[in-house]
Structure 1
Amino acid sequence: MNILKQQVKNVLRQILTQAQKRKLIALKNFSHKFSLIKLITEVRLYYDKHPGTYSSALIYNKIFNSARISYKYNYFYTYDPTKVRLLPKTTSNLASITPDYEKIICSNINEIQFSVANIANKEFKLYMNSIIATIKNKAERLKKQKNKKGRISDLAMLLPDLLTRDCNSLDEAIQKLLFYNGLLWQSGHRHNGLGRLDYILYKYYLKDLNRGVEDYESAKEKLRNMCLVLGSQTKFKSPSIIGDTGQYILLGGIDKNGKNVENALTEMFLEIFTELKIPDPKLIIRVNDKTSNKIWDLCIKCVSNGCGSPLFMNETLIMNNMIQFGYAKEDVWNLGTSACWEPLIIGKSACQNNPFMSISICNALEKALLSAKTYNSFNELINEINIGLKEEIDQTIQDREFDYSPIMSLFCDSCIEREKDFSHGGSIYMFQGAQILGFPNLINSLLNIKEFVFEKRLVSLKDCQDIILNNYIGHEDLRLLFSNACEKKFGSTNEEVISLCNTIINNISKIINNKYSNGNHVKFGLSSPNYIAQSHDTHATLDGRKANMPYAVHISPISSSIDINEVLNFASMLNYPTNCLNGNVVDFILPSAYQKQRSKLISIIQNAFSRGLFQLQLNVLDKKTLIEAKEHPEKYPHLVVRIWGFSAYFNDLPEEYKDNLIARAETYEIA
């Protein structure tokens, strides 16, 4: 039977075209998202052989015309997951970008078309005009709903006109945002951010208030419905784990004039997520020394209620690093994030901040120890590790071919001026981002080696080699020693620990400073989503971690002796070089008891950010609840947890992620 299967595969390889092969692979990947009947009768795959060309624009036309427009929660939504655009194998989906919805909401598509008419590049002009015609046709199709009664008919007649002018109300602004947001998803882009919606939508809310057509509660209901629409297709928007959509709503921070953005909509969003406890979309809050106590309290209340939002980001520190790295000072006020935590400039950045596998830095230590070299001092070992780090970084950071984005190009002035697509020279910024995996594991391993090999001489380098190759077999005593004995651990504020961390960070920074991808500088971060995915088929590490076990998460302690206060102080003492800005997130699980200590928690977090903490995400969970949820999922259908940089329903997680959360919750409960 196996021989027959192989023969069939060989025949298929010979007779199928590249497009047919891509479609078969895609159908296999989509099989867990659709029922078999729907997969056969409704799913349609469109192979785009030449992205960025007129033939690609014709593919967009076919997809947009065949894709259904849904009506849910009082709004039309243009994303139909059964119509899928496929790319050549060598082309990566464009991911983790955030449109400038302030520009989109007030846009006039006829004026954009007029600007396109002046483009000299005929191919690009034809490409863009075709996309504009397709978008207009999409809106016109809604007029077929005119025979329906009430709001559906009114919205259907309104939308074509809405594309040609600024919005006159919060209701119109939400509908226009959802129209274009759905088209971005339909294009095949992933992790589409939503940006600063409290800042962008506030003026429309004020218009409504002044005219007496909205009040606080009615406006909040509209925002709630918008969030429910965006979260209604989470399963289809998630490329891997359900919930990983990149749909973030950014709150707070300064405006162009340096004035802090805190308004009624900031409060509404925080209240909505506290009440709904939904994982998607998610919230990120930009904090600074002027963030009010009221907003801090609403944020901690939201986190404590179990939705995993918001993630906190230190905008002052991040903006300063961005300016030094190469972003313009006049642009950084409008800083957003790629999907989870990686900074970019909203509407101007085509930066791909997670296009590579994560840089597994524990491999550098492993190579150094398994080489034939001997080390007479700890510093000699560090020097050899630096060579290994360079090898790992060189292997990871490469040039990549990315998809095109005609819709983003329409709303980016520099694309029209340069006559280039958003992701191919049209956007202002196209930096690439790398992510470091296993930073806590490497540091704890090095601390163990320094103390037990070079200082106390209780362990030999040969013992270390045996541990790596044989997964602690015959060395259980050393596994316990490495796990528990050393008081100097990653996450502690011990001076030696901080010094070693900063040495490794600075060494990585120097290596990456000389790296380019697609001709652009590369930034890096100490946070990685791949702490489980890239832990498979790995050797043991000298911090007590056994082979194939998950790496540590982001900037989080592995030891139960380190509490939230210490790890935040630790993270605020780390050195974040100019190019170390691609996500440096402290990830901590707080016991549920903290729900009763909001003021204490606010004080701890505020103090840490004032001292230099970069980013923070929290889970408020207890081990007992997680274990029971795993054993009896039917009792906890709405339990939300935070992993990587997104939130998800606990029941939707793969088993190894559930086990990882349970283990970490147990560790931090003791702390």
Structure 2
Amino acid sequence: MYNTIDSLANIFEKIQIEVAEQDDFVYFIDKEHIWTESGGNIYGNLSPDYETFLHGGLNELRICDPKTRFEIHRNRIVEIILRYAGRIEAQLREMETTTAVLRAKWFSRFADYPAESFEEALQRILFVNQLMWQTNHRLVGLGHWDALLGGFYEKGLQNRTLTLEDAFSLLCSALRILHIDYKFKSNLVLGDTGQIIVVGASNQNGDYVGTGLTDLIISAVKELAQPDPKVLLRVNKKMPDDLWETALDCMASGCGSPLLSNDDVIIPHLVSFGVTPEDACSYITSACWEPLIAGKDSSLNNVTSLNFMKGLNNVFQRDNLQKINSYEELKARYRLFLAHNITAVKRVVSQQRFQYDPVLSLFMKGCSESGKDVAHGGAVYHDIGITTVGLSNVVNALLNLKEHVFERHTYTLEEVQSILNDNFENHEPLRKQLSSREIAYGVDDSEVIDLTNELIRFVSEQTSDFRTYLGGRLKFGLSAPAYIDAARDFPASFDGRKMDEPFAVHISNEKISAYTTIINFVAALDLGGNRFNGNVIDLMATPNFIHDNKEKLIALLRIATDIGFFQMQMNVFNSKTLIEAKKRPSDFPNLIVRVWGFSAYMIDLPEEYKDVLIMRALENERSGRV
């Protein structure tokens, strides 16, 4: 642990200071001097505590009369960061320009004073974010910006030290700077940076808490037309119409933002899971959509993924099919193998150990109070989360098996096994029939809803008693980034999916013609208990459809919020544009698409992701939503 502190001190002394004179803020990452340690996994996919540093100096984070190892290390890391900030200040003063002198003043105040202005508060958020990337934290969230900055914004407007135009310009500048290193910051796919800004909120009375800054942040994201950072807008049934309009205009621009998150559903689930009402009302999300408590939560919400389809494939590959004589027996055998898969996932999760992390611990509430590093359970909340994939596919496959094997007796299970092993060779009409069933996942039908709830409740039962080495609980959701990766080399399935073809994306069904169908479906799902780790309806729309139906869509989103959707995102483009962009990528360098929980330039995506988007766009247009 002492080596950890020494290695951090060494890194911060070696970092090359880079100040861009033309930028409004200081922000840089020295990629040659990223902190690396081997004492476990380094935390990522979360947001540090930005708030405390906005309202006080770094010296306030020190421990008076330190005695324990944690307390000594905490004070030492404050000294290391202040020396680093001092080096930046010194370089700014050497530049001698008016702008550089102002920025140097901000850095001189880091030790003992709170931020004074909207501009200085933004600089502090950028500085903490920079520290996280420099110390090798990945997928670093940006926090709840209108909550963090709202007081500075209102004060600046009131005392006339800030204009609306200035605030908009500063927001745009900060967003541009954060986007510059998106290739370095990307994780699995270019654009997957985790840089998410949350806006909007609800208080404990259920009232909507939004400000002019909420609207301004969304408008800045639309103005820049860049995929990253992305925005998540928290909504409730009381959100004003003008903010709905701003959100829809931003979606229609094709930037992929904002993702919508329904407070009326999510906050009660957080409270029932043990989060205090006050903290639940301040939730943000991890890199994509998984609820997380701002600045208090070290929960890793995307450790691994459970493949719902794997259990059914195991039935066909390992079980004695001749002994399965009914649909209920088939489901029972499926649940048995699904339980084995869940056990394997829990084994992976239980092996997670984390690197001693003094920098993140400094910017994580609970660590100082508990006297523990974040890796030792110091944060107020330290649970763990998984995602799931293939639920849509397995629901449709089970319904097809019920119909064709146990009701119509068209095939035996052994014949189905042979068809799947042959990847539907010589059975293309059957494959098309299976994949085009009308009563399917995402449809507001009692049989579909009951089966879906049966499966997710089973996973909940199998995981609810799990505890990590820190005592954290396991939560899961129905959305995952693994719909392509988990399907690689995965055998054909009786939903009509051929080997290697992707699983369905999140909660989606492009074949249905009405958005209300899938919204009603999601509202009927039981997402309580530990089942709230991201449940995103993924919709497709053409630009013309949005522009021609704007008022109707706002009304629909209001109704959907009231009915109780969990989360929602929208990809806005037409298939013709996507097809042309794939053929001639250099002609479409700035075309933005929504991937799983982030937006990206289409030109940056692997070919298989482009193919999925094109396929979904074509299906959406066939459904009549053009």
**TM-score class, shorter:** over 0.9
Q: Which of residues 623, 646, 662 is equivalent to 2:575?
A: 623
2:398 pairs with 1:452: no
Cα distance in 2 between the residues matched to 1:57 and 1:246? 27
Q: TM-score under structure 2 normalisation?
A: 0.95
Query: Which residue number in structure 2 is paired with residue 8 of structure 1?
Result: none
Cα distance in 2 between the residues matched to 1:605 and 1:258? 18
- Preserved contact between residue 286 and residue 314 of structure 1 (Cα < 8 Å): yes
Cα distance in 2 between the residues matched to 1:407 and 1:93? 11
What is the 5 A alignment of 1:1-12? none
- Equivalent residue pairs, number: 612
Query: Which residue number in structure 2 is paired with residue 18 of structure 1?
Result: none
CA-CA distance at 1:259 after TM superposition: 4.6
2:514 pairs with 1:563: yes
Q: Which of residues 60, 64, 67 is equivalent to 1:117?
A: 64
Query: Which residue number in structure 2 is paired with residue 4 of structure 1?
Result: none
CA-CA distance at 1:563 after TM superposition: 3.4
2:390 pairs with 1:438: yes
2:376 pairs with 1:424: yes
Give 3-state SS (helix, strand or coil) of 2:174's partner: helix
- Preserved contact between residue 4 and residue 37 of structure 2 (Cα < 8 Å): no
RMSD, matched Cα? 1.6
CA-CA distance at 1:258 after TM superposition: 5.5
- Per-residue CA deviation, residues 343-385 of structure 1 (Å, 9 max, x unaligned), is 11111110010112x1111011111233114211111111111
Query: Which residue number in structure 2 is paired with residue 135 of structure 1?
Result: 81
Cα distance in 2 between the residues matched to 1:175 and 1:219? 13
- Preserved contact between residue 78 and residue 178 of structure 1 (Cα < 8 Å): no
Q: Which of residues 434, 440, 447 is equivalent to 1:496?
A: 447
Q: Which of residues 432, 438, 442 is equivalent to 1:480?
A: 432
Cα distance in 1 between the residues matched to 2:56 and 2:458? 46
2:226 pairs with 1:274: no
2:168 pairs with 1:217: no
- Preserved contact between residue 50 and residue 128 of structure 2 (Cα < 8 Å): no
Query: Which residue number in structure 2 is paired with residue 85 of structure 1?
Result: 35
Cα distance in 2 between the residues matched to 1:605 and 1:87? 46
Q: Which runs of 5+ in 2 are unaligned?
A: none
Pick closer, same or farther for the CA change 1:413–1:338 going to 2, 3 Å. closer
- Preserved contact between residue 561 and residue 670 of structure 1 (Cα < 8 Å): no
CA-CA distance at 1:192 after TM superposition: 1.1
- Preserved contact between residue 264 and residue 564 of structure 2 (Cα < 8 Å): no
Cα distance in 1 between the residues matched to 2:152 and 2:49? 16
Cα distance in 2 between the residues matched to 1:251 and 1:174? 15
Q: Percent identity?
A: 36
Q: Which of residues 39, 42, 55 is equivalent to 2:3?
A: 55
Cα distance in 2 between the residues matched to 1:104 and 1:418? 19
CA-CA distance at 1:210 after TM superposition: 2.2
CA-CA distance at 1:540 after TM superposition: 0.6
Pick closer, same or farther for the CA change 1:487–1:254 going to 2, 3 Å. closer
Pick closer, same or farther for the CA change 1:453–1:195 going to 2, 3 Å. same
What is the 5 A alignment of 1:257-656? 259-356=207-304, 358-370=305-317, 371-373=319-321, 374-397=323-346, 398-399=349-350, 400-484=352-436, 486-518=437-469, 519-557=471-509, 560-596=511-547, 597-656=549-608
- Preserved contact between residue 314 and residue 615 of structure 1 (Cα < 8 Å): yes
Give 3-state SS (helix, strand or coil) of 1:465's partner: helix
CA-CA distance at 1:257 after TM superposition: 6.9
- Preserved contact between residue 344 and residue 351 of structure 1 (Cα < 8 Å): yes
Q: Which of residues 117, 123, 126 is equivalent to 1:169?
A: 117
Cα distance in 2 between the residues matched to 1:659 and 1:240? 18
Query: Which residue number in structure 2 is paired with residue 46 of structure 1?
Result: none
- Per-residue CA deviation, residues 20-64 of structure 1 (Å, 9 max, x unaligned), is xxxxxxxxxxxxxxxxxxxxxxxxxxxxxxxxx121111112222
Q: Which runs of 5+ in 1 are unaligned?
A: 1-52
CA-CA distance at 1:279 after TM superposition: 0.7
CA-CA distance at 1:157 after TM superposition: 4.0
Cα distance in 2 between the residues matched to 1:489 and 1:254? 34
Cα distance in 2 between the residues matched to 1:285 and 1:613? 14
Cα distance in 2 between the residues matched to 1:204 and 1:495? 50
- Preserved contact between residue 47 and residue 286 of structure 2 (Cα < 8 Å): yes
Query: Which residue number in structure 2 is paired with residue 146 of structure 1?
Result: 93
CA-CA distance at 1:242 after TM superposition: 1.2
Residue type of the alignment partner of 1:340: C
Cα distance in 1 between the residues matched to 2:369 and 2:223? 45
- Preserved contact between residue 285 and residue 312 of structure 1 (Cα < 8 Å): yes
- Per-residue CA deviation, residues 295-324 of structure 1 (Å, 9 max, x unaligned), is 001001100100000000111211111111
CA-CA distance at 1:517 after TM superposition: 2.8
- Per-residue CA deviation, residues 317-337 of structure 1 (Å, 9 max, x unaligned), is 111111111222232111111
Residue type of the alignment partner of 1:564: Y
